[in-house]
Amino acid sequence: MKKIKYMLGACCLALSLTSCSDFLNEEPVSEIPAGEMWKTARDAKAGVNEIYGLLRSTLRENYFYWGEFRSDNVAPGAPVMADQARVINNLMSTDERSARWTTLYQLINQANLAIKYVPGISMPDVADRNDYLGQAYAMRALAYFYAIRVWGDVPLFVEPTEKYSKDIYKVRTNCETILEEVIIPDLKKAETLINRNKNFERKRISICGVWAIMADVYMWTGQYNLADQTIDKMADISSSKGRFVDFEPSIQAWHTMFTEELNNKPSDDTPENDEYSTKEFIFLVHFNMDEVGTNGYSYMYQWFSGSGNRAAVLSDQYMNIFNEADMRGDLRKDYTVKLYQNGNELRKYMSGDVSNSLNKMCEVGYPIYRYTDMLLLQAEARARLGKWEEALDLVKKVRDRAGLVTPTALDFASENEIIDYILRERQVELVGEGRRWFDLVRTGKWKEVMEPINGMSQDGNEVFPIHYSHVLENPKLVQNSYYGNN
């Protein structure tokens, strides 16, 4: 069968609709002849599912490279893991694997295809068609949100590239323009389209997933009132089990949701059936080796356990948080970290020691958004709006679960103090979830935090380099200034 290939954007790479199976056991898009795609409800389902397969390919490594390794959470692990160490030590060059945006633009192109063709597909239930379309808009928004946070200005494509032409070469579009003219409008469209009565899936975008991305974007743009209002909406979404997303008050259940709920979940063809016991998870990246072979295992065990090939350990700076007076006795510590072979290993996703054989059979999902993340974002938003007591009420829920005491508003002398306090709580609560680096950039604190650790001090160092191959292939691209002209 003929495979559809695209040459997309700045990378000038062939973007085939890849043959990796999606997580819902739908026939891969690449196995469908070009002339027959996007005709039926089954095509729509397969085409949208492929977006999630490409998200898995994009974030399998970059979840950690982009969101965790540049932060003060981690230090280099084994000496053989040089790629990760360069990112952690702020020694990146333009040939880093994490500087490639190829699969991310494949995802964007697949979303653009769905946005173009799904509206024209006749389906028995228009709500299902709208739901697929809403997921495509939300996933395009999420992909561009990652892109601008990682590289700043990036090439913009809002129409699918279906054949090679010179139009694939584009200059970089201002990141603020992408935020205001693509990401936020896409999320607002998704909000109107997602099926709130049937889509209760955490491996793909639900209405709460749309709101989670939207709240994150509003925080990034300083629209704190909108972020606060958006997070509030999540409490009104119910499934047959009650609220769809909710706070988990038990520390034991908190531990179990990472070590059991994320591990080796089956694929799911029925979005109306929620197979998760916890309501904490809003959206996650799913891994399943039965569906996609060796590409279906995640790096959650391999990169964080065993002295021989672990990519990173928890840093001294992170561990010192637990020595602060108000953090002593934090119940999360023993569930999060273990001193093993001269390194403080991230054990948040492991119930015990992990053998070498399990390292490459790991099917632990990656949380992109969960409800406690949203509550702490909301606390920050309210603090910035001058609602300090309301902010601390939200933080108290999280600290109560951790066995800690929460101060009152009278204990803080300034907004900056309370914001730092909330950010520290986010750091401990969300370690290993790809959030800390983005928090540092979003709040403008990356220099003050990272300069003493790895020398970050120059404007422009907060973004990644663009891979040199993209710059060579597209003469209209200009490298991020910190990394020179290569």
Check which CATH number belongs to the domain holding 297 and give it.
1.25.40.390
Burial level of 182, CB count in 10 A (0-12/13-18/19+)?
Answer: buried
Q: How far apart are CA 6 and CA 163, in angstroms?
A: 5
What pLDDT shows up at residue 270?
A: 76
What pLDDT shows up at residue 275?
A: 85
Tokens standing for 474?
A: 């597209």
What pLDDT shows up at residue 48?
A: 96
Question: What are 366-377's pLDDT values in tens digits?
Answer: 999 999 999 999
What pLDDT shows up at residue 50?
A: 95
Q: Evaluate whether residue 203 is within a structural domain.
A: yes
Q: Which residue has the tokens 């680096």?
A: 437
Q: Evaluate whether residue 1 is within a structural domain.
A: no
Residue span of the structural domain in which 62 resides: 7-483
Q: How far apart are CA 36 and CA 461, in angstroms?
A: 46
What pLDDT shows up at residue 240?
A: 79
Q: Which segments in the chain show pLDDT lower than 50? A: 1-31, 33-34
What pLDDT shows up at residue 72?
A: 98
Q: Evaluate whether residue 423 is within a structural domain.
A: yes
Cβ neighbours of residue 454 under 8 Å, at least 6 residues apart?
A: 88, 89, 90
Q: Evaluate whether residue 112 is within a structural domain.
A: yes
What pLDDT shows up at residue 35?
A: 59
Cβ neighbours of residue 442 under 8 Å, at least 6 residues apart?
A: 219, 220
What pLDDT shows up at residue 486?
A: 52
Q: Evaluate whether residue 2 is within a structural domain.
A: no
Which amino acid is present at 164?
Y
pTM attached to this predicted model: 0.93
Cβ neighbours of residue 158 under 8 Å, at least 6 residues apart?
A: 112, 182
Q: Evaluate whether residue 151 is within a structural domain.
A: yes
Q: How many domains does the chain have?
A: 1
